[in-house]
Amino acid sequence: MEVPEINRLSRLTAILTQLQTRRLVTAPELAAKYGVSVRTIYRDIRSLERSGVPISTEEGKGYALMEHYRLPPIAFTEEEANALVLAEQLVLKTSDASFIAAYAEAVGKIKAVLRHDTKDKANLLHQRTTFDRNLQKPRSSNNLSALQDALTNYRPVRISYTNESGTPSERVIEPFALLSTENWLLIAWCRLRQGFRYFRLDRIGELTVLSDTFTPHGMTLQQFFDRYHPGED
């Protein structure tokens, strides 16, 4: 087999992984990623379709795989997918570029087997979680998994909270993002204060994820930082 054919086979495999990893991909994105023309991507998509891959085209949006088409046999729960996102954030803060590249490739393959709804939630959590480089300092929390679930499913949380001055209170909050600096911090809309607040996870006592849902706060984490400067409650 000639080298161009090897390259094309490799690209077709990579495009299939992209389709399995992301909800929607566009021809220009794929062309830029793999250094080929958009016309070449069109031909690649047709080749995948002819080979039996069920690709749907959303006009003006991009390409997507049919929901039923997933790589067997692995299936992840939401909690496992959330833990994967957190581990990915940790690895990205290491200094070994080769390890980061290998792990990113492995994570891409794992994400490819997630259901669309679980994949969307994992991607949302990835966008709403930040880690600093201080990886040696212990961070104490028993509520991280429950808060990840509440964040990605837009469920309010009832907490008992003790602030820096030692004053206890009961709150209902809407989780927005998780930050790890010197401690784990949750950014959430506080219904009591009617505003965004930072909550240290090690100061949360009892925690209950409620069954109703809240309207998502329609902004990215960067947009939040640009717009708000909340203090710790």
Report which of residues 75 and 201 the model is more confident about: 201
* Mean pLDDT score of the chain: 79
The full DSSP string for 109-171 is HHHTTS-HHHHHHHHHHHHTEEE-S--SS----S-HHHHHHHHHHT--EEEEEE-TTS-EEEE
Q: What is the DSSP letter of 232?
A: B
| pTM reported for the whole predicted model | 0.53
Indicate the pLDDT class of residue 3, thresholds 50, 70 and 90: very low
Q: pLDDT tens across 45-57, in order? A: 998 888 788 898 8
Gyration radius of the chain's alpha carbons: 21
